[in-house]
Each structure stands twice: as structure tokens, then as C-alpha cells.
Structure 1
């Protein structure tokens, strides 16, 4: 029983990172119905930006976190304006292929010697690791920080969407973009804000992931990004609380499957879950089927 509870703690910690990434997927899809596969590499850029902020600029954890969030928020807006906006009225397949192209571009530009290079980097220990024990359970301050940041960010985002004018404009744009424009909402601004917020959350996920698993490489965002996409679909893509629940669920499933099934099959299990969801309940746990008459 103690071992099981220990894996639950580890799974929640990992799932918190997935939740931060999956919210970006779900926000962008909710606004413009786009699966932004480049989002997983904004997560990677966030980790690298945090690394350089700590090692080169000598910033502490909080300043490095905000610096990385700002850089990635700007990057997300630039990507949307340069790569996605001109194709906004194109076929969905065209936009989807473009997101993959942006993903590959980000991976390869990070590999250049002018930036990080192709070699693996070790994320610095910006916060000294401390371990706590309660009974037979063991957890670290880094795990607590990861969970705390995830909860705070998700709660702040839910407040923004539910209680502010910007959030109301985002919900209106998500529901009917043309009607929102007729009501005076600046659609381009709302889309940019959405990309900025989603990218900032991905950067947060990148930094805490680097603290949990201190190995940085240009392709580090691919697998977490795909699992975060599964989490978004599981929770109901386009629904922020669903992304949080989906991220925690995938983190728990991955951790428990590694221990009790097979470490080699844990990734496959996540994608089997995606297939099952699409077959059984494609709207996800919190999604509602739209009925058109």
C-alpha cells in the first residue's frame, strides 16, 4: 500500500507538468479549432530559456520563471502572427501541417551552435532539493513546488476566463468568432492573448520539468507534448478544467503502468487511451457533444 501511495505522489507530480502543457493545447483549440503541435516545442524553449536565465543571467528561480514565461509568450504570439494567421481561413490540414513545420523549425534552431547546440545539457539546481518523509512515503520540495505552481496557474487562468472581460471575450470568440467580431471584440487580439497565455504556461511546465528531470535536449518536448495532447483529449479539448484533470490522470496512469505493468509499455498505454477515448467518448470526460439541427 505504501508503494502504491508513493507512486500516486510521483504520478501527480508528473501529471502537473502535463496539465500545464495540455492547457495550451486546449485554449488554442477552443479559440481557433487548431491542434498546435508546435506547442510541445514551446515547452522545450521554455526549459532552455530558464536554463540560460539561471546560468548566464544569474537569475533566481522566480525571476527565471517569469523571464521564461515572457519569452515564450512573445514567441507564441510571433508564431501565430507569422505562421498561422495568414492561413487562418485555409483548410485545417494546411494549418496542421504548418504546426508540424514550426515544431521542426524550433527543434532545429535550438540545435544550432549559436543557441544551445545538439548536446544534452543538465538543468541547474536552482532550488536545493530537500526530501520529506511521512510514514513510509517520501516526496521532495521540487514535487511540491511543481504541484503548487500547476494549481496556482490553473486557478488563475480559470479566474481570468470566468471573471474578467478578457475571459468573456475569449469565451465569446470560442463560441462564435464572427458574432464576437460583430459585437466589437478584437478577434486578432484575443487570439494573440490566447497564444501568449498558453505559451507562458508551457514555459512554466518546461522549467518545472527541468527541475524534476534535469536533462535538456532539443527533442525533449516531443513525448511530453504528445502525452499532454492525450490529456487534453481525455479531459475534453477546449475545456481548461478538463485539461487539468486529464494531465493529472495521464501522469498517474504513466507512473502506475511503469511500476505495475511494464516500463517499456507506459508510453504505448497513453496512446491506447487516446484511441479508446476517440472511439468511446470523443468529446472527453468534460466535453459535451454539439448537436446541429
Structure 2
């Protein structure tokens, strides 16, 4: 009996030593799980690749007369070389030139904007742009949806939304990872206010430039005031749509209303029609776009 008792005590001692040994490993940070309540040291997770690339290597532009440089070089004519988005003019330093350099812009930027285009035309322009597989697509459209023969002829808010969504879907179906920079529609009422003091400009306006806003430029009666306010309200509604639709696409950046808020002066307006951007105005648009595209956060 004493031998068996001795063997039992020896076995218990071995087990106890083993338990103490394990406990000691835990206390000194061994490989065993941490005691209850202790916080294990977490390994840092790799940073996710940001959805927005601030250095795209190719640019395609879609939109209307502003992106075509209309009336910036000569009366009632396109001048794409001064386009804020893809132009080559050294005095403008377009977005493409700022991003890619002059040689890179010449080889890897394309302008599919069309003077007179409305939002309904954007899906077709997007399809054309997609064939080039650009890393960045710029959008400036909506002014012609407000600039109609009358306020009642303006594109409805519902149609404008549907057409813009279709344009983005057209691009996404072909290029899921292409980035999109969306400019706000300019403040048309301010452009009227700045240009109406120029007699030549008002004569050009009579040829059919944005009649919903610019017709009867000197009229100040209640009907004219209501018409201009209606157009302005529609522009603001368009900008809300651009912001909303763009916000639901992680690779889309809206300018935050920067173009709408920009206070175009006489130096920034065409000296032929006093409504479209001059070369100076195109350069200001390029500055805004470059700042937004290269910002760390949208």
C-alpha cells in the first residue's frame, strides 16, 4: 500500500509541474491563447487600394459646347484646342495637360463633346469614349437642357436623371473601373448678369444663344424675372441630380458645385458672345477640375 501511495504522489507531482509549466508559458506570452480578459496584439491589416486614382494616364471628355471651346477663339465656332478638358493650348493648360504633360495629352486624351448636346446625347458620347478605354472621363453637360427656346421647353428633372443614369450605365457596362469627373452646370443667371452690359454680346445672343435665359436681355418686368428664376431653379435641380447619381458610384467625383459657384467675370467670358468661357475662363475650369481630380478625398 505504501509503494502504491508513493507512486500516486509522484504522478501527481509530475502533473502539477506540467500544469505550472503551461501556466508559466501563458504568463510570459507563449503560443497558448491569452488568458480571459487579455487583449491579443493585432497584426495591422493591409491598407485597401483606394477606389479613386489621382494620377489617371488617359482622359476622354464628353459634354457640350463649353468642352468644345465654343466662341473662345472666333465667333460661333468650336475651338477644341483651348478646351478645359483636353485642349493643347499652353495658356489654358487643360486637365489632360496638367495630368499627362503635353506629349501625353496629345497621345492619350480625346474629346467627344458636341456643341449643342444635351443630357440625352450623353449615352452615345459615353459609348464612343469607352472605345478608347480611358482611365478618366470628364462630364460637363446640362446647360443646353436649360438653354431652350423657352423655360417650358427645358428638359424635365425626371428625364435629366434618367438620361444621366443611362450615360453612366453605358460607360460602366464597357469600363467598370473607369473614373468619372462630373462638373456642375454653370450659373446661367450670373452669365446673363455679366454679359448683358455688352452691346455686341446682346446682338449675338439674339442669334439663338440660350433664349430661355438670354432673350430680352434688358427686360426687367415680372414675366422676364420669373422666366430667368425658373431657368435658374432648373439648373440647381440638375446639379442636385448630378451630385446624387455620382455619389452612388465609388469611381465618380462631382465637383461639389465649384463650377456653378465660380464667379465668371468679363475676363473669363468670350468677347464674341459674352456667355461661353474665354481662354481665360477655360483655364479656370481646368484649374477647378485638376484640383478636384487630384484631391485626396472627393
Q: Give me the TM-score of the superposition, normalised by structure 2.
A: 0.29
Q: Give me the TM-score of the superposition, normalised by structure 1.
A: 0.30
Relative to total residues, which structure has the larger helix share, 1 or 2? 1
Larger radius of gyration: 2
